[in-house]
Structure 1
């Protein structure tokens, strides 16, 4: 009996020595080994970015919600591109301020409910992007309320927003009860 117990202990110790501990080791890059059916236009080599960039974008949106358009555009570079549904602008920040002021001026209230956001850094491009997912609800001056779901991709360079790419999903109208 003692021999079986001793043999079992030796087997357990021997098996434990053969296992390798991968905790704390860097992950291997599996993307180099994969054969994708499509080639990306942009890089897929990214890492977690500095969350200070997300704070710049979130403060911009908070000030927009509060109606402070000058404050909302403080984080924009002097020359900026802003793309949205049926809207594209590239030019000086001052011109964009006028456009956004007019659009926000048509609204009485605005709110944003965030699902999440993510900051990514692309070392081969030296680009930092912040992606946001949220629902925006508003009431216009005529009393009409509406909402849209947004996915925004925001490119920052040297701590300033140089590209704001806004994509929307319309919410379906409620089904009428019969």
Structure 2
């Protein structure tokens, strides 16, 4: 009987001792990664544009992903309202477009109409905001596979940078393409 009283007394005292949740205490002590002090660095280059970025508005990423879906579905006009009145596009083949939104869409619809089926496999995207320039961007990496009417497939690895104006409209795009590796022919 004495053992039961001793056990009950120990249990009672233990329950009166406030326990701290170790993980909570450690989490409260840990600094917020977003508030981590940046080490002062001296870089060997000075950026022409900016080196002061933060994560941007996810709505801009949604706009670009919808644009890609409309490109794949050949319903590009569904994204027309996402573009500014005047746009500039630099393409990976060295061509450039600078002009009105209507001209851009007339040209883009013509090109897309000649492509057959298109399927994009989006690898990743990130919305960014240049803090010093106060400009919003979305960077996206994708594999675009198109199949023409004769069944010929063409694959492209693309990286694109899309800029948004102060009204949240796309007004600039840079496109870069990875050339497929040239494999040596097997020796006979």
TM-score by length of 1: 0.81
Structure 1 outlier segments of 4+, above 6 Å: none
Highest CA radius of gyration, 1 or 2? 2
Residue equivalent to 1:139: 147
Count of matched residue pairs:
157
Matches within 5 A, 1:1-178: 21-24=29-32, 26-30=35-39, 33-85=40-92, 86-157=94-165, 158-172=167-181, 176-177=185-186, 178=188
Matched-pair contact (CA < 8 Å) for 1:62–1:72: no
Shift of residue 147 of structure 1? 0.6
Cα separation, 2, equivalents of 1:74 and 1:141 = 30
Per-residue CA distance 1:152-174 (angstroms, 9 max, x = gap): 00001222101011111122356
Structure 2: unaligned runs, 5 residues or longer: 1-28
Cα separation, 2, equivalents of 1:171 and 1:57 = 25
- For the aligned residues, what is the CA RMSD? 1.8
Matched-pair contact (CA < 8 Å) for 1:135–1:147: yes
Indicate the structure with greater strand content.
1
TM-score by length of 2: 0.77
For 1:152, what is the secondary structure of its paired residue?
strand
Shift of residue 52 of structure 1? 0.5
Matched-pair contact (CA < 8 Å) for 1:73–1:93: yes
